[in-house]
């Protein structure tokens, strides 16, 4: 358990080269395991969450090792996993437990999955329901939460599923199970969520009756040439907000994944008056990649709700910090999913902003922040949530006095280099 003390700073000039995207890193490891071939992955995120996927796959018989800077995955094929006679531990990782459940639902053996205290509080009925409809049997002794026991069935069958919530993890879980169904498995979503699974597995998505429809099936084959993981835009968001709220600042962020389903935060910050230039420099892994240049700006409050929410869902905590330093009110609605992330992020942000002397109120599905333009140092309860810790660390750079970030080691979940880059000593 560590506490990190942050003192205010001006002239925050940084050039940051981002490390690999967390969502794509999980998928790179899993999809490589599903192919009967050796796949090389460069730029893989070595944060704790993707490393949980690595260890779960290793326990299921997939050989994964690092040679120099490159990760090598010896894929076993869709049906080549071996039974693990213990409990698979996903740590803090929602993506690991939900996506792996889709694969394990189709295996001819029983698997048990659990994770840390946060994972054991997060809802799993959202995957239990569709996987059960597909013919798997899943037990949860903890009221729809982990630990879960999956009685896989090689005979699972295709379903046509209308998503009740916007969740790329649930969508991906069903599409992965669909790779084992003779019939088509169809997922329909009202709002397009991050589409890395579709891009990497070469699944087609079309629009029908106002819905985004994606199909998979056992017949669907996909090529998986060696993978280069582009940089994580969710990590970029912290530096983009630092660059905006601190005076006399220039921040350049390189290797940013510019997938439109991920960079809603840039749009939101621009609406707030941020000075951000985006330059696409190329493509990586069928995804646009580029540079963000950010300069200080006086931000103003905005209203965020509706279809933009899934494209910035992980960035809401740091956008709340931008809002606290903006002029006027920012209201974020339709973001009830934040209540069931690594912690209740609505409650955590309201508590932390108030502790720093700011004004924030919560609603069941969001929050309202009245920008006061200033915050003061405080001791911040992070609830062991990486994004809460990093958000308040950025807030602390412009606060009056010292801020203590409790349990600051939790940043390792998505961004182990964060503290060094913040300190300017990478």
Residues 6+ apart with CB under 8 A from 220: 178, 179, 201, 203
Binding segment for ligand S3P among 77-85, 161-169, 325-333, 351-359 (CB under 6 A)? 161-169
Number of neighbours of residue 17 by Cβ within 10 angstroms: 14
Contact in structure between 166 and 309 (CB atoms under 8 Å)? yes
Q: How far are the Cα atoms of 166, 177, 252 from residue 107, in angstroms, in the given order?
A: 27, 10, 46
* Cβ closest to ligand S3P, residue 118 vs residue 403: 118
Q: Does 169 bind ligand S3P (CB under 6 A)?
A: yes
Site string for ligand S3P, 283-322 (x = CB under 6 A): ------------------------------xx--------
Q: Is 23 in the site for ligand S3P (CB under 6 A)?
A: yes
Q: How far is CA 119 from CA 7, 115, 142, 273, 342, in A?
A: 32, 5, 11, 37, 7
- Residue 263 touching ligand S3P (CB under 6 A): no
Crossing angle for the helix pair 386-397 and 233-245, nearest 10 degrees? Answer: 20
Exactly one of 168, 240, 299, 378 binds ligand S3P (CB under 6 A); that residue is 168
Applying the rule CB under 6 A, the residues between 76 and 95 that interact with ligand S3P are: 95
Q: Does position 391 bind ligand S3P by CB under 6 A?
A: no
- Smallest separation (angstroms) from ligand S3P to the CB of 4: 23
Q: Pick from 167, 185, 259, 291: which binds ligand S3P (CB under 6 A)?
A: 167
Return the range that interacts with ligand S3P (CB under 6 A); candidates 10-18, 162-170, 245-253, 272-280.
162-170
Choose the stretch contacting ligand S3P; rule: CB under 6 A; options: 134-142, 164-172, 290-298, 374-382: 164-172
Distance CA 317, CA 390 (A): 9
Question: Residues 402 to 421: which contact ligand S3P by CB under 6 A?
Answer: none
Query: Of 194 and 398, which has the nearer Cβ to ligand S3P?
Result: 194
**d(Cα 159, Cα 132) in Å, to the nearest integer?**
10
Instruction: Kindly state whether residue 45 participates in binding ligand S3P, applying the rule CB under 6 A.
Output: no
Least distance (Å) between residue 92 CB and ligand S3P: 11
Give Cα separations from 152 to 103, 106, 108, 186, 276 (angstroms): 9, 5, 6, 20, 48
194 binds ligand S3P (CB under 6 A): yes
Residue 397's DSSP bridge partners are none
Give the nearer residue to ligand S3P in terms of CB position, either 314 or 381.
314
Enumerate helices (H) and strands (E) in the chain, giving the number of each: 12, 23
What does DSSP assign to residue 327?
B
Inter-CA distances, 48 with 52, 57, 116, 409, 420, Å: 6, 14, 12, 11, 17
Q: How far is the CB of 236 from ligand S3P (least distance, A)?
A: 14
Which residue of the set 21, 89, 314, 385 is catalytic?
A: 314
- Whichever of 194 and 384 has its CB closer to ligand S3P, that residue is 194
365 in catalytic set? no
Bridge partners, residue 227, by sequence: 41
d(CA 264, CA 315): 9
Within 90-149, which residues bind ligand S3P (CB under 6 A)? 95
- Residues with catalytic roles: 314
Q: Which residues bind ligand S3P (CB under 6 A)?
A: 23, 95, 167-169, 172, 194, 313-314, 337
């Amino acid at each position: 358990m560590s506490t990190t003390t942050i003192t205010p700073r001006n002239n925050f000039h940084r050039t940051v080269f981002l490390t690999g995207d967390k969502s794509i890193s999980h998928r790179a490891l899993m999809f490589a395991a599903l192919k009967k071939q050796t796949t090389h992955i460069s730029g893989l995120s070595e944060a704790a969450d993707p490393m949980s996927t690595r260890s779960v796959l290793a326990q299921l018989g997939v050989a994964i090792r690092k040679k120099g800077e490159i990760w090598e995955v010896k894929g076993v094929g869709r049906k080549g996993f071996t039974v693990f006679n213990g409990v698979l531990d996903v740590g803090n990782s929602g993506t690991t437990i939900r996506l792996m459940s889709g694969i394990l639902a189709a295996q001819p053996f029983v698997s048990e999955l659990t994770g840390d205290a946060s994972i054991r509080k997060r809802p799993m009925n959202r995957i239990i329901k569709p996987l059960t409809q597909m013919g798997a049997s899943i037990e949860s002794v903890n009221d729809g939460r982990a630990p879960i026991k999956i009685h896989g069935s090689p005979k699972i069958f295709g379903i046509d599923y209308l998503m009740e919530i916007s969740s790329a993890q649930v969508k991906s879980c069903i599409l992965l199970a669909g790779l084992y169904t003779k019939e088509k498995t169809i997922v329909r979503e009202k709002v397009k969520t991050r589409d890395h699974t579709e891009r990497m597995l070469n699944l087609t998505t079309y629009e029908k009756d106002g819905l985004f429809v994606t199909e998979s099936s056992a017949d669907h084959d996909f090529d998986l040439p060696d993978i280069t993981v582009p940089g994580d835009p969710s990590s970029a968001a912290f530096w983009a907000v630092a660059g905006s709220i601190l005076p006399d600042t220039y921040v350049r962020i390189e290797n940013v994944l510019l997938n439109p389903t991920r960079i809603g935060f840039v749009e939101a910050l621009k609406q707030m008056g941020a000075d951000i230039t985006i330059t696409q420099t190329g493509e990586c892994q069928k995804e646009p990649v580029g540079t963000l240049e950010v300069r200080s700006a006086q931000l103003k409050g905005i209203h965020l709700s509706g279809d933009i929410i899934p494209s910035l869902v992980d960035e809401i905590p740091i956008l709340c910090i931008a809002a606290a330093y903006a002029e006027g009110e920012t209201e974020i609605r339709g973001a009830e999913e934040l209540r069931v992330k690594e912690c209740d992020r609505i409650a955590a942000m309201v508590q932390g902003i108030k502790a720093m002397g700011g004004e924030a109120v919560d609603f069941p599905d969001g929050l309202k922040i009245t920008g006061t333009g200033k915050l003061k140092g405080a001791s911040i309860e992070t609830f062991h949530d990486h994004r809460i810790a990093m958000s308040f660390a950025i807030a602390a750079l412009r606060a009056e006095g010292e801020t203590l970030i409790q349990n600051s080691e939790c940043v390792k979940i998505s961004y182990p280099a964060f503290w060094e880059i913040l300190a300017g000593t990478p």
